[in-house]
Structure 1
Amino acid sequence: MKKSYKEYIITSEPFNVEILSSILWELNIDGINEEVNCIKVFAQDQNVTAGAIENELQHLKENKLLREFSVQENYIVEKNWNEEWENSREVVRVT
């Protein structure tokens, strides 16, 4: 059975990666990718939900560290990216 995990795409105004990541690492997440205008949070733990993330971000908003934010949740099935790449290549036979 392939593993699946959740990806959360988080945007905020103002966008401050240091503040966002410091709060989000308090949750039981597996990783964070910093993008230009958002961060992507990855988690397998069932306790990490969009609601839990929104709750943490709402605390930042109440303390006037954020004006607004959004959280988008996606489900991703783990893939063997090497195999995916190999299958997408066309074999060229040289004789």
Structure 2
Amino acid sequence: MDLEHIAAVGKAIERLLGADTPADPHRTALVITHTGFILDYVQADVGHLMIDGRIVGAGDPRTLFRHIKAHGYSLPPADADVQQVI
């Protein structure tokens, strides 16, 4: 998705997730991103880091995104606030 439209899509996702009804009180979404910029618009609870087709870490999505921006797609160090899943 291009960056011009990411805000609109993120806001739409948040609107859909926030539209709890008595018949559907808890909504969940799976958002897959390569850039992480959608996190500016979606309040994600947990993120997963996938490397070479395997989930290797789980934790706060913003923490994972900061690590990826700084170090690329690599496993964060053991002292990071990321659960290693390997």
TM band (smaller chain): under 0.3
Q: Which has the larger radius of gyration?
A: 1
- Tell me: higher relative CO, structure 1 or 2? Use CA pairs within 8 A at least 6 residues apart: 1
